[in-house]
Amino acid sequence: MKDYINYKRLLGEGNPLKRYPRLFEAALDEFSQKKFEDASLNDILKASGMSKGSLYHHFGDKFGLYLCMIDIFVNKKLAFFHAYLAKQDTGDFFGMVKQLMRATMEHMLIDERMHHLSNRIMDISEELRTRILEYFPYDFRQGFGPLIAASIRSGQIDARYSEEFVSKILEILLMNAHKFLSPQTDIGGFVGTIDRIIDFMQYGMAAKKEGD
């Protein structure tokens, strides 16, 4: 990988992958079936009809193409996520988070390859994961902050815990959900794991004593 490539310029509105639908389809096919290290750039180029020189010009290298693919994946997910989140109330904060995660996953499954891509991303090395996350920071407090604050005021969340603290716990648990899964985990297994993570936040780890 070439460290001097400015990968950040590839992301967002100017993402060049949006202009090449055949390349997008070919890259999604390849990256959803194989880990990054095993994905063949030559197979992607052959399926898309793009030359290697053109790909290097627009994306820098395979990592740049991969980032562009993840950028589209992440923004599609976040667009649905925030639209859904904006319509929720705080009547049941923990139940709402479960429904939100389930609805977001179901939305992504409109294209089965997106689920497989998500699984492949879970299967990458920690070194590669850390490098990718540098380009996709997400502020959980911005997304969940108002709902968490309202849930603290209503007594659903213990007032001993600040909005910032709860947001950080939610971020740590959800951003590391992949550690509870395998690349073969299906949608049911993913949803079940998220439910257990939220149950853990709500009820803790201690066993209930008789009479509780």
Long-range contacts of 124-128 (CB under 8 A, 24+ apart): 124/35, 124/36, 124/37, 125/37, 128/36, 128/37
92 neighbors 170 (Cβ within 8 angstroms): no
User: What digits encode the pLDDT tens for the residues 137-168?
Assistant: 777 787 788 889 999 999 999 999 999 999 99
pLDDT at 90 exceeding the cut of 80: no
Gap between the Cα atoms of 48 and 16, Å rounded: 14
38 token code pair: 């095993």
Work out the pLDDT band at 3, boundaries 50, 70, 90: low
Gap between the Cα atoms of 165 and 186, Å rounded: 31
Binning the chain into helix, strand and coil, the percentages to the nearest 5 are: 70, 0, 30
Among 77-86, 108-117, 131-140, 163-172, which range has the highest average pLDDT? Answer: 163-172
Q: Using only the alpha carbons of the chain, give its radius of gyration.
A: 20
Minimal CA–CA distance to 129: which of 63, 173, 73?
63
pLDDT at 2 exceeding the cut of 50: no
199 vs 30, 96, 187, 202, CA distance in Å? 36, 12, 18, 5
Q: What confidence score (pLDDT) does residue 28 get?
A: 94
User: What digits encode the pLDDT tens for the residues 94-116?
Assistant: 998 888 888 877 776 677 788 77
Gap between the Cα atoms of 146 and 162, Å rounded: 12
Q: The pTM is what?
A: 0.76
Provide the 8-state DSSP code for 49: T
172 token code pair: 């740590």
Minimal CA–CA distance to 34: which of 129, 131, 117?
117
Q: What confidence score (pLDDT) does residue 191 get?
A: 78
Q: What confidence score (pLDDT) does residue 1 get?
A: 43
Q: What confidence score (pLDDT) does residue 80 get?
A: 84
Q: What confidence score (pLDDT) does residue 39 get?
A: 92
53 token code pair: 């020189």
